[in-house]
Amino acid sequence: MARETGLTLKPLVRLGKRPDDCWEWLSVKTEGGYGKKQLGGKTLLAHRWMWTQLFGPIPDGLVIDHICANPGCVNPAHLRLCSQAENCRDGAGTTLTSADVVEIKQAKKTRGPTTANALALRYG
């Protein structure tokens, strides 16, 4: 005879109707929309947890990129291993022009104590 525990289990993920749709994380999320998962007293980002469950540990120096640009997605077909530089370069918010890059590199050569802050404010 089953005992009543009073627990209600909620699904963590809503699968898309098609295999190429996003799998939306339904549980707790960060302010930026990334899913969060509690495991062994630690908080993990849901897409990183999904990756490690399916493919093993994430190598040092690499991150998990959402190729769909949806931070709440945990569809393994939408995740890829890459460097942080690749992730930033390919991000949806990338708006630097070639001229911007030239100016940033020039500023780096002649940098002063406030150069990094000034560049961050100017280019986001």
pLDDT at 36: 94
Look at phi and psi of residue 43 and say left if phi exceeds 0, alpha if psi is from -120 to 50, else beta.
Answer: beta
pLDDT at 87: 83
3-state secondary structure the chain: CCCCCCCCCCCCEECCCCCCCCCEECCCECCCCCEEEEECCEEEEHHHHHHHHHHCCCCCCEEEEECCCCCCECCHHHEEEEEHHHHHHHCCCCCCCHHHHHHHHHHHHCCCCCHHHHHHHHHC
Confidence of residue 98 (pLDDT cuts 50, 70, 90): confident
Nearest CA among 117, 119, 87 for reference residue 101: 119
55 versus 103: which is more confidently predicted? 55
Instruction: Look at residue 2 and tell me whether its pLDDT is greater than 60.
Output: no
Q: Are 77 and 19 in contact (CB under 8 A)?
A: yes
